[in-house]
Amino acid sequence: MSRQRAGLVVFLLLTFGLAWAIEIGLTRRWQVGSTLYIIALVAVMFVPGLSALFVRVFVERQGFADAGLRWGRGRYYLAAWLLPVVFGAVAFGLAIWLRQAEFDPWMTELMVQIKTRVPETKLPPFARLRVYVILGSLTQAVLINTIPAFGEEFGWRGYLLMRLLPLGAGRAMVLTGAIWGLWHAPIILQGHNYPDHPALGVPLMIGFCILLGVIFGWLRLASGSVFAAAVAHASINGPANTPLLFLRVRNDITAGMTGLLGQAVMLAFVLLIWGLGALRIQHSMSKGEENGSGSMPESAD
């Protein structure tokens, strides 16, 4: 077995083993949404990156030339930041239009959480609070979320995608996304993302991650940087989900980014860039990257 194949096996074993051990062994003890639960989830986000680091250093011993640890093409960062926001906004409008959720300008669920957890908090006037929530999600939330998002992306798009590239860029993006989606299974079964349909949520999450896997993979390869994928991941976890605060009576199967409507919006974008030829990628790699990831396919199969 070659070092790269051995590294891939070890990466998957570590990434799934450690993450599932935390999710099954620890998070089940804590209430969904509690402080300890959130800390555990954030810790889990670093597992793929740490696993990739271990494999690169101790198993493959080929360094980090193909990890995308460079700035890359800067124009893709704007797309990484704003595309998820557009996806979330369109999915929000569709959910209301198709009556899969009700518009809630008063952010009732958020207000209940604040009053329950920190009842003595003094809030600004509501009109100003809405602005703070939206602007904060677009700026502070993205900056903060980029740190744990990098913990995942250094593993998924910085390592796994690069090792699967000999299959063809398109197949590598889809397979990376499917593996990433399955990796979420224990936490989904505990009610995360799909609280009313946890079992059905597992295949839905896999579909969601396949679509994101293509989008994040495109950003990673086209920009030449794993940081672009990390920014997009942070934007998905932040401002793309902010519209959910303005919904109530939401159908978790259809509404939101992880629901069918959000996935339909992302699928439309994937088909668009595929039709425009944007997925026929030969990204800019150094000699070290080429040697680290094998031959780079010219097009997405």
Give the distance between the most distant pair of CA atoms in the chain. Answer: 63
Residues 154-182: what's their mean pLDDT? Answer: 97
For 105, the token pair is 């300008």
pLDDT band at 68 (very low <50, low <70, confident <90, very high): very high
Radius of gyration of the chain (CA): 19
CA 99 to chain centre: 27
The pLDDT, as a whole number, for residue 146 is 98
CA 65 to chain centre: 23
Question: Which range has the top average pLDDT, 185-189, 282-286, 289-293?
Answer: 185-189
What one-letter code names the amino acid at 26? L
The pLDDT, as a whole number, for residue 56 is 97
The pLDDT, as a whole number, for residue 30 is 76
Percentage of the chain with pLDDT > 70? 92
Q: What is the pLDDT of residues 249-267, one digit of tens each?
A: 999 999 999 999 999 999 9
Residues 182-209: what's their mean pLDDT? Answer: 95
Using alpha carbons, select from 212, 211, 204, 213 the residue that is nearest to residue 253. Answer: 204
Residue 95 has pLDDT above 50, yes or no: yes
The pLDDT, as a whole number, for residue 282 is 56
Query: What are the backbone angles phi and psi of residue 297, rounded to the nearest 5°?
Result: -65, 150
The pLDDT, as a whole number, for residue 202 is 98
d(CA 183, CA 176): 11
Mean pLDDT (the chain, rounded): 91
Q: What is the pLDDT of residues 112-147, one digit of tens each?
A: 888 888 888 888 898 899 999 999 999 999 999 999
d(CA 165, CA 293): 7
- Determine contact, residues 233/152, Cβ cutoff 8 Å: yes
The pLDDT, as a whole number, for residue 280 is 81
Alpha helices in the chain (DSSP H): 3-25, 35-45, 47-54, 75-97, 108-117, 126-138, 140-155, 161-164, 169-183, 185-189, 198-223, 226-237, 260-275, 287-293
Q: What is the pLDDT of residues 204-216, one digit of tens each?
A: 999 999 999 999 9
- Classified as helix, coil or strand, 38 is helix
